[in-house]
Structure 1
């Protein structure tokens, strides 16, 4: 089993402490990006809680790495949710989260929200996570193209985050790694502004991870920089003796869209040039210093979900098959949560409309309040009964 004898663990106060020599799961490298929502102050609190929970490493148990990562995510979700319920100023706060745990020959990802993880290998960029967002769900259903999704008015609405509910569904996966692989964790402030092809071009041309991180932030800002941008990159090392965790280099760069100006949130220093040779000597004893890089989060999405729910309407049918006016979005979240509520019920059965008319009127198209109200009123007056 791979053991890491010593770990410098970066916390919000910058202090470091030594990990237990025999605690592989507590000391292996763990990287986190969390992007807060619910207003600048509340979002920063939510993302800070998530990062703090992960600063303790993975829980000690006999479960898989994926299960341990998911347990930490659930722990963070509980803390954020309970605080939001106790403090009215932080009601509705939440955060997205993408975490990567580096094993000896693989990397395990835990993911909630629309931050992303990628693997760069042999000149190819591979996306490792699926966005938990409204437009991504519409794309998976074939109802939106990628181009339409990029211009959709509800593209900032996410369907899953830490904090809004007592429990959260966590996506986890484990992918193989090999020396030279570069992993990218980033907030949607990057991927909503530049394409994956543009990201790949930056990684292909950059001479170092630090240069790549800054170039990605610059490219997103040049494209408009409408949201906060967090970029975390790390490279897998070649460790032939099995003594040490395989992280060669890591860097995190962030830009606050509302704060103005780039700042480096955290950076893992590159090891001395002699370090790889020392690791490969027989009898070195398995000691390696690894820094845990924490991606500090900047407030991002705001109250997008709630604003979306309260500003749009659609026409559909109630549970008795009658034409009704609904406020919100025609989707249901996990745990039975609806993004809409009934605004008005008419007395018109949907079955009374000709099929062609019924299909065109009940397509769940998002409308303004006046447009949706006028449509139902015309139906009640019999002005839209014809085919």
Structure 2
């Protein structure tokens, strides 16, 4: 390897959707950071907030890996940048979700960050696993047993989030360390994708489209076919080589199709839980 804990290929796509004038999403897809921010506040305030957050994290682009202290420092700078944004008296804010490449004792890991209801998934060994946990009213109701998964997608409160960067929120982030393996495929997306396209269809696209750029473009197109009611952003990241593994470069479609997976296979558990 060239010194990086994870050698990755990535692709990204974004669209304002079919009903919005402004695309308030921003994203970053440059080693070692792959992030999506979904702005809020209207009247372009959300677009400014998400762009400001991504700009702060972009200062880390070019490093071989990123540690949690660097991520926390970037998050602090991002909060300050959003607080400086004001537009027609409305509070600007944004979600943030994604992964950074990090090194733990010579092995490659995904350092996952999440604030709000944008999502980070891993597709591996034929299964789609949501790594992030939504900071939303609906997720709290699900956790409390007051709402089931089928009803959650139709609940009128599904767009109400409980944490953000800015918008009057403290913006505390969740972090996880997830061990990487060659063939991992990471998807980071705004809720314009996850709120429109069923998980089964997302998994099918990730299984069937080998190139990460083509996969990201296809997922955004799928969201528009399903209604395109919000801004849509997708970042797809493939682990080609991972430090700590002797595997050759992973040159075929990531993780194979779901139909090839053994029915007893389960996603690997996150290491270290909330970092």
TM-score normalized with structure 2 length:
0.72
CA distance in 2, matches of 1:209, 1:156: 28
User: Structure 1, residues 259-315: CA drift from partner, whole Å, max 9, x if none?
Assistant: xxxxxxxxxxxxxxxxxxxxxxxxxxxxxxxxxxxxxxxxxxxxxxxxxxxxxxxxx
CA distance in 1, matches of 2:121, 2:177: 12
Partner residue, 1:74: 76
The reply to whether residue 215 of structure 1 matches residue 218 of structure 2 is yes
SS of the aligned residue for 2:233 comes to strand
CA contact (8 A) 2:39 2:93 kept: yes
In the TM superposition, what is the alpha-carbon distance from 1:128 to its structure 2 partner? 0.5
CA distance in 2, matches of 1:38, 1:170: 20
CA contact (8 A) 1:28 1:103 kept: no
Query: Which one has more relative contact order, counting CA pairs under 8 Å at least 6 apart?
Result: 2
Q: Which runs of 5+ in 1 are unaligned?
A: 5-26, 249-387
In the TM superposition, what is the alpha-carbon distance from 1:206 to its structure 2 partner? 1.2
Partner residue, 2:206: 203
In the TM superposition, what is the alpha-carbon distance from 1:239 to its structure 2 partner? 5.7
Seen in structure 2, the aligned counterparts of structure 1 residues 88 and 33 have a Cα distance that, compared at 3 Å, is closer
CA distance in 2, matches of 1:56, 1:151: 39
Partner residue, 1:136: 139
In the TM superposition, what is the alpha-carbon distance from 1:247 to its structure 2 partner? 11
CA distance in 2, matches of 1:28, 1:231: 16
Q: Which runs of 5+ in 2 are unaligned?
A: 5-29, 252-275
In the TM superposition, what is the alpha-carbon distance from 1:216 to its structure 2 partner? 1.1
Partner residue, 1:97: 96
Partner residue, 1:175: 178
Seen in structure 2, the aligned counterparts of structure 1 residues 32 and 138 have a Cα distance that, compared at 3 Å, is same
The reply to whether residue 189 of structure 1 matches residue 192 of structure 2 is yes
CA distance in 1, matches of 2:222, 2:99: 24
CA contact (8 A) 1:135 1:152 kept: yes
In the TM superposition, what is the alpha-carbon distance from 1:78 to its structure 2 partner? 1.9
CA distance in 2, matches of 1:90, 1:125: 41
The reply to whether residue 224 of structure 1 matches residue 223 of structure 2 is no
TM-score normalized with structure 1 length:
0.52
Which is greater in Rg? 1
